Structure 1
């Protein structure tokens, strides 16, 4: 999805259609799903697009011939349920309008309250809370608080990175992102986000593979950053 919302303070940067399809199908990891759910909470345009995707998927399923029951054993059914049951998947259809609470409801199962969360100092002007530790494949999800004028290390990506702005703003080589916006970067993107407003930038960063820092300082920090 490339178009911008046309009214009010709706987000201007949206996830791709492929990501929305993956989210609707439940095929994304927990961190990426959480990032998209946070964006969807403030973006009626993407919620409408997701509803269309769900409707098309439902129509396709109805068009399929019924599967004979004798082909699906109890063991098969239980195996499918076990494979489909995530450990802690964020709710995919529970949207809370922004502004109702300082701590988004989608984040409460992970941190409780933002004010009481265990913020760790990563570097001057940068603090973080780890929401999901890095998986064996390199995926992770973290909250970052970036002081005004502070730049993160320049980096590329081993896979997909989603950054959702919760408050404040940042700028990189691809544009400027404010509250509700989602920045989608793949292995072809190299950038350096900078908090560019007068208030700190609070954002969630989710990845499905480790970042690739280009500078010496970034590479030295990577084991501690966890991205």
Structure 2
């Protein structure tokens, strides 16, 4: 099914992904988005091509192979890959393949933890320079109003949400920075599931959200 994606990742984020300079959590966001978005995937491929051309033209990047390298490589190919047990790929329609690799399966494999008001989250294992989590927001429910100390990217996997900025449906990504203060509200027609990544804690105004923030690590 074709994804009607109208909110994409920025060029700076896509270039950082191609260059390998993003935190692991942000790489996960990009990989998940481009698995659904033809436009952003084409952009990443173009940046990869440009990067490869630059490396080819950079002095000192000539690599000489040792004698016998080709023969040794062909021998490894002829030997075949070692036998291994492969887990069958999930046919989950909510989680794209990059997320399934982190979760260990489809949506049924997500280990949700309640953070109040019907909202649940599952923190994904990534490096400490940024965090990634799956969020489950009941239909019609609102997240606490908040700002941002750094960058937050939120991608819709199921349902939709709306805030003061726009409306975001499956595949759409909202990129928020310190200039954006908003109150995301899940669409009333379906529970909303999102992937959210941040490189700094959120900035809450209310007392209860501030208290919950310590336990939810957001």
SS in 2 for 1:49: helix
Q: Distance in 2 between matches of 1:118 and 1:39?
A: 22
Aligned pair partner of 2:97 in 105, 110, 113:
105
Equivalent residue pairs, number = 191
Provide the TM-score with structure 2 as the length reference: 0.80
Relative to 1, partners in 2 of residues 1:134 and 1:149: Cα closer, same or farther, differing over 3 Å?
Answer: farther
The residue number in structure 1 matching 2:75 is none
Relative to 1, partners in 2 of residues 1:159 and 1:175: Cα closer, same or farther, differing over 3 Å?
Answer: same
Aligned pair partner of 2:189 in 198, 203, 207:
198
Q: Which of structures 1 and 2 has the bigger CA Rg?
A: 2
The residue number in structure 2 matching 1:221 is 212
Provide the TM-score with structure 1 as the length reference: 0.77
Aligned pair partner of 2:117 in 94, 117, 124:
124
Structure 2 residues without counterparts, runs of 5 or longer? 64-88
1:45 aligns with 2:39: yes
Is the contact between residue 129 and residue 142 of structure 1 (CA under 8 Å) also seen in structure 2? yes
Q: Distance in 2 between matches of 1:42 and 1:68?
A: 37
The residue number in structure 2 matching 1:90 is none
Structure 1 residues without counterparts, runs of 5 or longer? 1-7, 70-95
Is the contact between residue 131 and residue 142 of structure 1 (CA under 8 Å) also seen in structure 2? yes
Q: CA deviation at 1:65?
A: 1.8
Relative to 1, partners in 2 of residues 1:134 and 1:196: Cα closer, same or farther, differing over 3 Å?
Answer: farther
SS in 1 for 2:109: coil
The residue number in structure 2 matching 1:88 is none
